[in-house]
Amino acid sequence: FGTQARCSMGSGPQKGRTMTLGEAREELGRLQDQVDRWFEAHELLITPTVITRPFANKIRYPSWIGGVSLESYVECMAMTYAFSLTHCPSISVPCGRTGDGLPVGLQIIGARYQDARVLCAAKSIEDWLRSNNNNNNNNNNNNNNNN
């Protein structure tokens, strides 16, 4: 393709923007620099794994989130792929369920090369959630026994 190959952003705030591969590399470099600077002051970033609640498997992707139109499945996954582009290690751990019982994930993201920190945080959070869930179950059982 060479340096004159062009890519076109199909969705999101850059929709319709066309750039050469060189320009795309420069843009990605600027993004990487911003993320690196952010992680100089923060050990981890914890976010929802995805930007929407779970949806029926018969739906390819939600067409609207918070009044914003989505044009592709990729837009639903922005929270996950954005950090992959910047070479940041990340992991998703289950952290609960919605009111109607659907799973919710928590994404833990670290600075480049901080894979061990991300894995340790994931283990700690999973252990805490498991312990908290067991304590809640024990409390519920005790309340049921007292009735």
From CA 134, how far away is CA 95, in angstroms rounded?
14
Helix (H) or strand (E) holding 22: helix 21-41
Question: Residue 99 is encoded by which pair of tokens?
Answer: 């009111």
Task: List the pLDDT tens digit at each of the 147 positions of the chain.
Answer: 444 444 455 555 555 567 888 888 898 999 999 999 999 999 999 999 988 888 878 888 888 888 888 887 777 777 788 888 899 999 999 999 988 898 999 999 999 999 999 999 999 999 999 998 776 665 555 555 555
Q: Is the dihedral of CA 7, 12, 17, 22 positive or negative?
A: negative
**pLDDT at 69 (0 to 100):** 83
Q: How many CB atoms lie within 10 A of CB 25?
A: 12
From CA 108, how far away is CA 92, in angstroms rounded?
6
**pLDDT at 32 (0 to 100):** 93
**pLDDT at 81 (0 to 100):** 81
Q: What share of the chain is helix, strand, coil (3-state, %, to 5)?
A: 45, 20, 35
